[in-house]
Amino acid sequence: MSTSAIVMMVLICGFVWGGFFVLLTRAIASEESLDQEPVQDLLGMEGMDETLAFNLARRGVVTMEDLAELSVDDLTEIAAVDDKRAGELIMTARAPWFADEENQ
């Protein structure tokens, strides 16, 4: 076997092995996010239902603050809600931001 053939095999094995680690890392991260549950502020938020709260938590949105940081496009991509409901939920989640400004 020539040196170039050996080098090529090493490169291919490295590429396949590297791809395996990328997939493994993604699978672990995905599995960890499945264990998350929404916190009470998200569950008790006006307009929020339990099913949506748990769906959001599986995607890393576990608090009102997490939800407040999303855009309408972000929320409609990760949850089955229309633009209007997404906007209402986000603004409800952002309400404490405005309340804090008024109290200062």
Residues 27 and 22: their CA atoms lie apart, in Å, by 9
Q: Identify the H or E element spanning 54.
A: helix 50-58
Rounded to whole angstroms, the Cα distance separating 22 from 92 reads 37
At 16-28, the pLDDT tens digits run 555 555 555 555 5
Q: Which of 19, 18, 21, 56 is nearest to 39 (CA)?
A: 56
Query: pLDDT of 54-99, one tens digit each?
Result: 999 999 999 999 999 999 999 999 998 999 999 999 999 999 998 8
Is pTM beyond 0.75 here? Answer: no
